[in-house]
Amino acid sequence: MNQAVSVLFIVVFVSILLSCVLFTLLLRRWGNFTIPLALTCVFEIIGHGIRASSVTGQWNAYLFVVVTTLLTIAPSFVSIAMYMTIKRTLQIIGKEHSLINPGWYVYLIWPDLAGLAIQIVGLILALSGISNTTGRLGPGANSGGIVVAAGIGLHAATLAVFMTLFAVVLCLAFATYRQALTCRFKGYLLIIVLVVVCLLVRDLYRAIGLAQGFATASVGDAMFALLDGFLVAEAVLGLAVFHPAWVLVDGHKPELEQQGKGAIGLGFHSSNSSNFI
């Protein structure tokens, strides 16, 4: 990946980071959503910053492992941010359509964190497997890559479970009262689907690339820019644009509420900001 592409990703993630933080500070809502999304941006900025500064030089094995891991674990925080919004989303769209208690979706954070921990263990194994004499990746480093791939697999499996449950909600809810939902809220629901698709494709790409170890992970592959950097940027940008601080105030058309229509099953709550974290 050339330097210009790395710089472009840095600009994108810096812009998203600043906008999300400022938006949350001004409105004082949804800090639990902004924090993990901001962490994603920070990891991506650092990772792409090092790639941009090292693109013309010789890659150090330690630096390569650290950068690869930073860019690998960053998307885990995207899904964590998304899971934080699902309970409120179902209160609007209709919690009766969910196969599980809406409050349980937040527990999907735990397998995500477990996958993140596995990836960190893989990083430690990879760093310990670098030869002190040659400075090259050894068998231990390759084993670390396999462990990181396993952590990515757990992240992908959690996303698949979520998408299965959420797809049921969407099908039942839209069949019941799709005309009662605002375009803004419908857009947000589509963004959630897009985020999951982006992260799943990216997880598949990274898991395959690391399954044989860090030595197989290319530092200059244009495919990396498309199937990792671009997909993660698209997911983060989508969630930032449809920030819950303004999307999840309510999701139904006010004229239908006034007519007494569409309120049943919509789980409507007051838009008072004090109800939000």
**Any residues with CB less than 8 A from the CB of 231 and at least 6 apart, and which?**
198, 199, 201, 202
- Let me know: does 205 contact 155? Beta carbons within 8 Å: no
Q: How many CA atoms lie within 13 A of 194 on its CB side?
A: 17
Task: Output the DSSP codes for 79-96.
Answer: HHHHHHHHHHHHHHH-GG
d(C-alpha 20, C-alpha 6), whole Å: 21
Q: Give the pLDDT means over successive 10-residue stretches in the chain (277 positions).
A: 82 93 84 92 92 66 78 92 92 86 93 93 80 60 82 95 93 73 86 96 90 62 83 94 83 48 38 38
d(C-alpha 273, C-alpha 196), whole Å: 28
pLDDT of res. 257? 45
pLDDT of res. 239? 93
pLDDT of res. 255? 46
pLDDT of res. 178? 58
Strand partners for 252: 181
pLDDT of res. 137? 61
- Let me know: does 73 contact 116? Beta carbons within 8 Å: yes
Helix (H) or strand (E) holding 206: helix 183-210
pLDDT of res. 251? 55
- Six-digit token string for 180: 């009662």
In the chain, the amino acid numbered 12 is V
Question: Quick one: which of 235, 109, 99 has its CA closest to 171?
Answer: 99
What is the architecture of the domain spanning 3-275? Up-down Bundle (1.20)
pLDDT of res. 272? 39
**Any residues with CB less than 8 A from the CB of 56 and at least 6 apart, and which?**
3
pLDDT of res. 141? 67
